Structure 1
Amino acid sequence: MARRSFHPGSKTTQLIILLGGFALGWAIYMRYALVEQSAVGLACIGVETSTCQARSLVIEMFGYSVFGITAIVAAIIQFIRPSVAVFIIGVMASAAGVVLYNNNLASLAAGLLLISLARPWRRVKG
Structure 2
Amino acid sequence: MAYRNFLPGPRATHLVIALGGVALGWAIYMRYALVEQSAIGLACRGMETSTCETRALVISLYGYSVFGIAAIVTSLIQLVRPSVPMFIVALMATAIGVVMYNNNLSSLAAGLLLISFARPWRAARA
Amino acid at match of 1:86: M
The runs of 5 or more residues in structure 1 that have no matched partner are none
* Residue matched to 2:3: 3
* Residue matched to 2:63: 63
* Residue matched to 2:86: 86
The runs of 5 or more residues in structure 2 that have no matched partner are none
Mapped partners of 1:3, 1:36: distance in 2: 47
CA-to-aligned-CA distance 1:17-62 (integer Å, 9 cap, x gap):
1001100010000000000000000000010001100100100111
Amino acid at match of 1:103: N
Amino acid at match of 2:34: L
Mapped partners of 1:89, 1:121: distance in 2: 17
CA-to-aligned-CA distance 1:54-110 (integer Å, 9 cap, x gap):
100100111111111011000101100111111111000000000000010000001
Alpha-carbon RMSD across the aligned residues, in angstroms, is: 1.0
Amino acid at match of 2:108: L
Kindly state the Cα deviation for residue 118 of structure 1 after the two structures are TM-superposed. Answer: 1.0
* Residue matched to 1:103: 103
Amino acid at match of 1:94: T
Kindly state the Cα deviation for residue 124 of structure 1 after the two structures are TM-superposed. Answer: 2.4
- SS across alignment from 1:114: helix
* Residue matched to 1:41: 41
Mapped partners of 1:114, 1:23: distance in 2: 18
Structure 1: 4+ residue segments shifted above 4 A: none
Amino acid at match of 1:3: Y
Mapped partners of 2:8, 2:125: distance in 1: 15
- Output the TM-score relative to the length of structure 2: 0.96
* Residue matched to 1:124: 125
Mapped partners of 2:90, 2:103: distance in 1: 14
Determine what percentage of the aligned residue pairs are the same residue.
70
* Residue matched to 1:54: 54
Q: How does 1:18-33 map to 2 (within 5 A)?
A: 18-33=18-33
Amino acid at match of 1:124: R
Aligned residues: 125
- Output the TM-score relative to the length of structure 1: 0.96
